[in-house]
Amino acid sequence: MRNAVFLAAAAGLALGACTTGGGPGAYQSDYERLTAECREQGGVLIPTGGPITGNPATEYACERRTLQGQVN
């Protein structure tokens, strides 16, 4: 779980440095993209519990589970 949160946070910082403010609907489209990428990896997007930043990459982490249901 720590690895998934760390990777999501690192990706969020990297993506945050590249964004130019987006526009209406940018948050939702980023959230949907992150959700799709996470599902492709066999995970589910979960809130990090951190502050609301306006950037879904820093507000959510991909939690991947093994076949036994253990957090990876």
Residue 36, domain extent: 2-64
Instruction: For residue 70, tell me if it sits in a domain.
Output: no
- Taking the complete model, does pTM exceed 0.75, yes or no? no
Instruction: For residue 54, tell me if it sits in a domain.
Output: yes
7-34 tens-digit pLDDT: 555 555 555 545 546 677 999 999 999 9
Cα separation of 68 and 4, whole Å?
A: 17
Q: Which amino acid is at 28?
A: Q
Give me the number of domains the chain comprises: 1
Instruction: For residue 71, tell me if it sits in a domain.
Output: no
Q: What is the pLDDT of residue 4?
A: 54
Query: How far is CA 43 from each of CA 24, 26, 29, 33, rounded to the nearest angstrom?
Result: 27, 23, 18, 13
Give yes or no for a contact between 57 and 30, defined as CB atoms under 8 angstroms apart: yes
